[in-house]
Chain A
């Protein structure tokens, strides 16, 4: 799954929903792959307001990518900044997490990723 997806996912355990530590999930032993995808500036501009920027900074650092600026660019800034567009495109749209785990910072639950598919099903005692 694309790294972008990670920005939309928190811990599935209901009691974790109220905790800010349950988002973003922290990748562990993550194996990355890169798909070649044509850059789509319109998509990036559209995605921008839906991204939790602080969470994306955390994810980017944890996966070993360059540190993102403190504040998200505005739509106009992003459209004008080719380098930023390319960086975000690579990080969000091209990078895939293929294998590994996603760990909740609140309850410590680990969600396995296999073949690019994360498993968020919970055992009965956590439902």
Chain B
């Protein structure tokens, strides 16, 4: 049967990838019948999407942890005019009508980008009188709610447009998890920093990475723990590391990463947090192979992160910036056992870091495990940074959040089984990786350079 999804009006390009990921988590067979995404702007004007699902139960499961779905409805009819809606309701659904003859019910009108006077509302609702429901009309918590949705063009009230573009009529089934971002709202979180990911997008990221009960998730740039908290909220066991241990430790009292888990009652989902650098990671790994069983020797079901772009947070790894200064190394050799020793760090290439994340993920994700990470890019085509690739990882989705001159993308990959990997492509990938060298922060980081040049094209 067909169902109507009513999305919330935000993060348009994230909508379909999110419900597709949820279909994988819930094991639901999902087919998208209609959803219009304008390829030029990559946005959709309409928050309505029609999908085919095997059952009402599947519809409930599909959206129960969705951050971007408001509600899902059994679709009774749709069309460009009200007459079309009535024709399709009368053609598709008479066999259902008797089920709702005596229950309490209400009718509502949901006009997207449009408005109706109360007389018009009554007229529209009364046009469904042929359904002949005889039960009591209850406005608060009725047994059933029937909704007529109208999809109006942008600016219809101002332009005096008289009719919506499209109508949908459906029976309410369930609501998504729109309250979850409020629960994890950064404004009420004990301990955050300047780069903490907002709770809504952190939860969407956790959904795309298929965080779920019994799964192991890892964030190599954990900061104050936004992603692990979102993953733990969905029942996963989470691990994280950061090159700056202070971000994990906080003030060592209440305002710590652990304190955040405590605040939400998620301590069971806190696996281990440690100070480490991804380029010198202590996590055990095996060299990439060609015939593993898909789990053994690997650790994580999902890796989620927002690596430092080098704009607000500098991108640094362990090592000495200037190898000529040998005294730095020799001094470190004397001092490193002191408890407050802070090892020297050097700037690092943003593109090399992305490659390191992909390589690390290929080595530590189980088959079908997912990597979801954020990366920025300029909106200008000539300065755009391409989506990084790795022969052991297949791109599942690319979602974009657009700012004025730059955007950030949430890219999700799937770890494919060894047997499906093109080993020749892997050799080429490794050869390309050797080429990424540079010295200054600008050379190392094309995004940082473009950002501080205000994204102006050089002549």
By a beta-carbon cutoff of 8 Å, the part of chain A in contact with chain B is 1-2, 4-5, 8-14, 23, 35, 37-38, 40, 42-43, 45-47, 49-50, 52, 93, 110-112, 114-125, 127
Contacts and interface: CB of A to CB of B under 8 A. Distances in A.
A49 B275 contact: no
B80 interface: no
B280 A46 contact: no
B277 interface: yes
Contacts of A124: 318-320, 328-329, 332, 343-344
22 contacts: A5-B271, A9-B284, A10-B284, A38-B268, A40-B268, A42-B214, A43-B214, A43-B237, A45-B214, A46-B301, A47-B237, A52-B284, A93-B268, A116-B273, A120-B275, A120-B280, A121-B277, A123-B343, A124-B320, A124-B329, A124-B343, A127-B343
Interface stretch (B15-23, B241-249, B410-418): B241-249
A42 B213 contact: yes
Contacts, number: 130
Contact of B276 (A12, A43, A125): A12
Given A124-B343, A125-B332, A116 B258 contact: yes
Given A1-B273, A2-B271, A122-B343, A115 B249 contact: yes
A40 to B, nearest CB: 6
Contacts of A2: 270-272
Interface string B248-289: 110010001010000000011011111111001111100000
Interface in B314-359: 318-320, 328-330, 332-333, 335-337, 339, 341-344
A2 B249 CA distance: 16
Contact of B274 (A5, A11, A42, A52): A5
B308 to A, nearest CB: 16
Most buried by A among B214, B241, B256, B333: B214
Interface residues of B, number: 51
Contacts of A112: 339
Given A121-B343, A124-B329, A14 B268 contact: no
A9 B176 CA distance: 38
Interface of B: 213-216, 237, 239, 241, 243, 245, 248-249, 252, 256, 258, 267-268, 270-277, 280-284, 295-296, 298-299, 301, 318-320, 328-330, 332-333, 335-337, 339, 341-344, 366
Nearest to A111: B282
Contacts of A5: 239, 271-272, 274
B342 to A, nearest CB: 8
A114 B246 CA distance: 12
Contacts of B319: 124, 127
B317 to A, nearest CB: 8
